[in-house]
Amino acid sequence: MLNFDEMLFTRHSLCHISGHDVTEERICQSAPEIMSELRTIFSDYSYQPLSLFVDLVDKIGGIFYEADPLGIIEKENPSQIDEYFPEADMVIWLHLSSNLTPRSFWAVWEYQFADSNPFKDESDDVLSAMYLAVLKCFDQ
């Protein structure tokens, strides 16, 4: 049986758990040198589940939903449509902060998923395709 008090959580999972009381020690971390970079990139970010940019969250979250890079979507389960909305929110924040680059786009996935990040680095082909699709959302 799983012991909740010993579990590690991804930042992604915490976005979907309301009223969580999880200490920093119980959040999955990347290597220290990567965490230093990620903390710099996201130092002013805080997740906003009720974004003012609903259309953008829907479009970008939809891109991530269709790609499903972590293989966690059950397509027959309509309640999962918002699964990647936290990552969409981060990408919108990066764009509005004029900090959206291939590296910061990769950083979203590393920050949210740590060891579960499906992308080794920003040169991953699937990640690059998602990045280009996301950029088109901002041009509309």
- Confidence at residue 12, expressed as pLDDT on a 0 to 100 scale: 57
- Confidence at residue 78, expressed as pLDDT on a 0 to 100 scale: 79
Q: Residue 96's closest CA among 138, 129, 55?
A: 138
- Confidence at residue 3, expressed as pLDDT on a 0 to 100 scale: 60
> How many C-alpha atoms does 75 have within 13 Å on its Cβ side?
4
Every domain of the chain and the residues it spans: 30-139
- Confidence at residue 107, expressed as pLDDT on a 0 to 100 scale: 95
Pair 122, 103: CB distance under 8 Å: yes
pLDDT lower than 50: segments of the chain = none
- Confidence at residue 59, expressed as pLDDT on a 0 to 100 scale: 95
Report in angstroms the alpha-carbon separations of 40 from 9, 44, 52.
Answer: 21, 9, 24
For the entire predicted model, the pTM comes to: 0.83
Tokens of 118: 């499906």
Residue 129's H or E segment, with its range, is helix 125-139
